[in-house]
Structure 1
């Protein structure tokens, strides 16, 4: 029995000599596709709407381009992304230039974008309107957020190109109106890096301190000359608009000509139609200011003069009503004279009355009465003196009595005498020291005491004592 050929049943793959379609590996086919796609589509321009825009931490940007018929993936490497002239976002219609390639690991293809541009002015305006609505919804355009411009700023910061007519026009206009210190922060005002530089300048001015090496401006001017919407697009970028909205320094936007409008104009505190007009808004005319100050000084002086005149008139009106100085003292003077005359008459009358009373009393006085009164007072005094001699404590000693002392204390009881170590007896003619019974006499001799004797108090001269008998003896 002949075994069947397995290749004839389609079970096993077979290759025959001269076969022009040998089997390829997946990798070989993917590589062939990659070479074919990149060779056929090495330079393409694709128009579509951005969808799913995403910037990775590496700086590479991934998104898709789509229209109503299809979707194709795209990638924008970091180097190219940094050179974009605008900030892409979902919904923007763009034209992407690059090459088509495949990604074998996923069997996908994508456009590697080298440049990205908005698809015409219509797409640019659509993106601008969309961004405007978004920022307005956040309240960045509200009038309540706007600050008042300082009347006479000391320092003005200007964000613009260091070359060109804009900075010269601003400086010239400031010099004509009111010379002011200007600090220029040079930036590019057009191109790929313009938006980042303008935003950095605004943030840099706002971060300055008043005591730093460079004085902090009191006012900012962000300016650029006229141009097309593409030329002014940096001032429509979200990074610039948000920097201007967050700035704490009052800001004037002066971008383009009078008919040009950018998003920074909506968030600035004041919009100027031209850079020259911004300088005019920033400072007053110095000559006019001096004239106004002089006018105000004259008005103040005139008002002061009129006030003084009115005060003088009021004072004169008041003084005209005052009485003459002599009339003010006439009545008090008259009353003083009247009181003086009445006082004089009263004194004369009182003196006369007193003399009469004295004469009447003197007539009633008698010398004998006076002598009798004196004798009565002398007798009372003599009786009181005699009584004092009777009660003198030493008087009884002359009649045989004695006074007993122990030291400096008078002994009045037997108990006191028995308790004492030594006693002194006082007599009319002297003292004697004794020892109570049962007491031992002191070993040392007792110093003799001074002899004392009673003497009657001396009777005042010219007076007799109550008990006087004509001699000096006691009664």
Structure 2
């Protein structure tokens, strides 16, 4: 075979017809797809990118090679986990070529994490990432209400978990329970659990459904694959951001998920979650009864202490007989002294009376009577002396009457004057006092006229009055 000429020539001796690039690419594509129509490839994810169309582009690699891969949007939506760089997976699909870049790739129809070890490695990686964000911080965890009125439960409505929770709540403290039914395993379970937790938190006071005081996220036991939806980021963030305290009860006591770390309280089992959510009604009633008993004892204790102190002090007080013994003895002694004193006084008075009686005699008494009669006769008054006193008193009385007549204000009323009185009858002497009265009385010589004062202003014109010469009353005393 020669190296060829300048221009390609068609010859009969050559059976290799030239193919176009498209033809060779198509032939290669059919060969690869027929030969590798179903393959399972194990490798580590690298360069994971979710396009705006929903398709997922990635690469599978190991120590010696790299294989590009693509997963269409419908398949991505059925994934049970979130693909990330560094996760070791087993991808199932078919190999094909991409003529536009002259490379081959795998179209993934199913992708699973390569074994439990890889799953645990992913779990540890996500846990470290969430811890760095502070989602598991103890400072952000809240206290569970002591006696919640409404309990929200996020779980499957058909499993044994909800029956165990309701049965335990009925035994301990009957409560109102609102169940948000969700899938707890498989495709779409994580999204439903997260939506339920956020839905409970979004309930407001005006909602038709009452907002729970605490939320229980529960599921029975299972393998790490069965519980994987509770390790998904969407569930962890929904629980961490919930405005309502959350109790996580996923799996058995030995099972641990990232939802347990994000919740405010972890319960080993769903039944234990019900026990942690409410107290025992009987224990609560006993505690209340004990507190009531202690309150009654606390109220009665001061009275009892006061009674004991009173009895102790009463025992230290002396007996009434002992208190009255000395005063009684003193009273007896005083009574005896009084009796003897009265007897002595009687004897002394009898002696004085006897001595005075001896000095009295009839002639002496008669002489004293005569002297007293002589003094009485000397003290008799003469009529002239009495009349002089009466005349002097009469003159003083006549002078007082004349002065009273001259000072009587009503005597001048006969000369045309008037006296103004208020409502109470007292005499008014100023215009200011008259303005303060509601009614006035004008006293004339022949009677009283009632008037009403008016507001200040120009006085009304007065009619001309002829002077009248006052005549002296015959009863009026003369001053001169």
Taking structure 2 as the reference length, the TM-score comes to 0.66
Cα distance in structure 2, aligned partners of 1:189 and 1:379:
129
Say whether 1:172 aligns with 2:164.
Answer: no
Deviation at 1:209, TM superposition (A): 2.3
- Report the equivalent of 1:230: 225
| Equivalent residue runs for 1:423-442 within 5 Å | none
Who is 1:38 aligned against?
A: 33
Distance 1:93 1:313, change over 3 A: same
Q: How many residues were matched structurally?
A: 355
Paired position in structure 1 for 2:243: 248
SS of equivalent residue, structure 2 residue 276: helix
* Counterpart residue number, 2:287: 292
Alignment of 1:199-348 (within 5 A): 199-310=194-305
Distance 1:147 1:457, change over 3 A: same
What is the TM-score with the length of structure 1 in the denominator?
0.67
Q: Partners in 2 of 1:453 and 1:268 — Cα distance? A: 118
Distance 1:375 1:77, change over 3 A: closer
Aligned to 2:177: 182
Change (3 A) 1:460 1:107: same
What is the CA distance between 1:78 and its match in structure 2? 1.1
CA shift at 1:368, angstroms?
5.3
**Partner residue, 1:82:** 77
* Structure 2 portions without partners, runs of 5+: 318-384, 405-414, 416-463
Aligned mates of 1:196, 1:378 — CA distance in 2: 125
Q: Give the Cα–Cα distance (whole angstroms) in 2 for the partners of residues 463 and 162 of structure 1.
A: 128
The equivalences for 1:403-418 within 5 A come to none
Q: 1:366 to 1:288 in 2, by over 3 A?
A: same
CA shift for structure 1 position 308: 3.5
Q: Secondary structure at the match of 1:308?
A: helix
Cα shift at 1:116:
0.4
Kindly report which structure 2 residues correspond to 1:441-452, keeping only aligned pairs within 5 A, or say none: none
Distance 1:202 1:268 in 2: 11
Shift in Å at residue 9 of structure 1? 7.0
Q: Does the C-alpha gap of structure 1 residues 456 and 68 become closer, same or farther in structure 2, counting only changes over 3 Å?
A: closer
- What SS does the corresponding residue of 2:288 show, helix, strand or coil? helix
**1:146 paired residue number:** 141
Match of 2:458 in 1: none
- Kindly indicate whether the alpha-carbon contact (under 8 Å) linking 1:459 and 1:465 is maintained by their aligned counterparts in 2: no
1:17-53 Cα distance to aligned partner (Å, 9 max, x none)? 2422222222112212211221222111111111121
Q: Provide Cα deviations, 1:178-200, integer angstroms capped at 9, x if missing partner.
A: 11121211222111221111111
Cα distance in 2, alignment partners of residues 208 and 43 from structure 1: 49
- Determine if the alignment matches structure 1 residue 458 to structure 2 residue 458: no
Q: CA RMSD in A?
A: 3.6
1-structure distance, mates of 2:50, 2:121: 22
The one-character-per-residue Cα deviations of 1:422-469 (angstroms, maximum 9, x if unpaired) are xxxxxxxxxxxxxxxxxxxxxxxxxxx99x999684375586797xxx
Give CA deviations for 1:110-157 in whole Å, capped at 9, x if unaligned. Answer: 111000011111111111110000000000011111111111112111
Q: Distance in 1 between matches of 2:261 and 2:87?
A: 22
Could you tell me how far apart the structure 1 residues matched to 2:305 and 2:271 are?
A: 50
